[in-house]
Structures are given as structure tokens and as C-alpha cells.
Amino acid sequence: MLRVGLTGGIGSGKSTVSALLVSYGAVLIDADRIAREVVEPGTDGLAAVVAEFGEDILAADGTLDRPELGRIVFADESRLKALNAIVHPLVRDRSAELEAAAGPDSVVVQDVPLLAENRLAPLYDLVVVVDAAPETQLDRLVRQRGMPEDDARARMAAQATRDERLAVADLVIDNDGPLEALAPQVKKVWEELRRRAAVTRG
């Protein structure tokens, strides 16, 4: 098994890259998706978040009001740390379960948005960074996702810098350009991952 950490800043196109890798045969473990699952209604995770932040972060239907929680944590680093202290251990444990279920010949790609921030690079056989210029990220968040510019800037500021991400990269995928320029790069990276997985098996 080859364990790959995939990361990139918000708006870098990491989800598109992970979807392409899955289409080539990678086993994807998506930390963001798991982070949503571990705070669904009825979970210990949601109960812990409510105990920390209060009932105001619940929507009328009992689910987590993500925009409200986001407004709180992205404006206050100490509150963000408190949230991460609850969610990250739950995500880590669930990720380990999913990885254990993958076959020994698998290329397991863990999509980890905060890999650089949490110094997780040593956990992986190699790290792939999806790179885009900050102005490209901002444009995508505002134009494609409809995010208010102030919110987009706050979320970007809460993450590692571009240089910090690139410092932990073994392989870099440049996603500053159009989609048609991305796919050939991802295919090349996939071939390299398969080659390294074969060496690991050997």
C-alpha cells in the first residue's frame, strides 16, 4: 500500500484532482467528508461541538449550522483550535478504519486540507500539493462558489501559506490554468504513484 497525502488551499481545485485520481483507481479517504459525517445528528461528535459552542450552532432541523459555526471559528483562532480538538481525533480514527479496509496493493489518497497546518506530512509515504496562486483561489471562491470576498479572504488566511504547503510537497500539481491543462498533470502523477507503489511492494 502506498499512502499519499493530498492537500491544497481552499479554491485550489483539490476536489477535482481527487476525483481524477479515483477515476484512475486510487482509494480516496476524504477528510472533509468524514469531518461532516462525524458531526451528523445523533453522533458523539455533534454533542461535543454543541457542548463547546452552544445550541446556537444548530439549525432548526438539528443539523450543524455550518455557516454560523464558520463565522465563529474563522474569526477567532482559539475557537478554531477548540473545534479542531474535537473533530480531528474523530476524523483520524475513521480514516484509519477506511485505510485498513483498502487492499495491500492500493494507492490510498488521503485528501487532507490542513496537512501542512497540522504538520501531518510525516504520516504519508509522499505528499501531493495542488497549487494555485492566491489570486486564483480568491477568484474561484468568489466567482464560482459565490462566497463573499471577506469570508473568502478569512478562510484563506486561516490556512497555511502557499510557501508552507509547497515546503512539504513531494509532487506538485499546478492548477492555475484551465481544466484541460490539469488532467494530463494528474495522469502523470498517477503513473508516478503506481510506480512508487510497485517499488514499495517489491
**Cα 71 from chain centre:** 19
Same domain for 151 and 51: no
Domain final residue pick, 104, 137, 154: 104
Check whether residue 169 and residue 132 sit in a common domain: yes
Both 161 and 185 in one domain: the answer is yes
Look at residues 104, 123, 148 and tell me which one is the last residue of a structural domain: 104
pLDDT at site 202: 64
Please report whether residue 31 resides in a domain: no
Q: What is the DSSP string of 72-108?
A: HHTT-HHHHHHHHHHHHHHHHHHHHHHHHHS-TT-EE
Query: Which pLDDT belongs to residue 114?
Result: 87
Residues 201 and 112 reside in one and the same domain: yes
Instruction: Examine the domain organization and report whether 202 and 132 are in the same domain.
Output: yes
Can you give the residue range of the structural domain that contains 98? Answer: 42-104
Instruction: Answer yes or no: do 93 and 122 share one domain.
Output: no
> Are residues 67 and 15 part of one domain?
no
- How many Å apart are CA 22 and CA 61, to the nearest integer? 33
Residue ending a domain, choose from 86, 104, 122: 104
33 within a domain of the structure (yes/no)? no
98 and 149 part of one domain? no
Which pTM value belongs to this model?
0.79
Same domain, yes or no: 97 and 114: no
The per-residue pLDDT for range 151-196, each reduced to its tens digit, is 999 999 989 999 999 999 999 999 998 889 999 999 999 999 999 9
94 and 7 both lie in a single domain: no
Q: Are residues 100 and 88 in the same domain?
A: yes
The residue-averaged pLDDT of 84-90 equals 94
Share of the chain above pLDDT 90, in %: 83
d(Cα 80, Cα 69) in Å, to the nearest integer? 9
Task: Give the per-residue pLDDT at 74.
Answer: 85
Our count of domains for the chain comes to 2
Name the pairing type of β-strands 27-30 and 107-111.
parallel
User: Do residues 96 and 173 share a domain?
Assistant: no
Q: How far is the C-alpha of 65 from the C-alpha of 59, rounded, in Å?
A: 5
Report which DSSP code applies to 13: -
pLDDT tens column, 56-74: 999 999 999 999 999 999 8
Q: What CATH number does residue 138 fall under?
A: 3.40.50.300
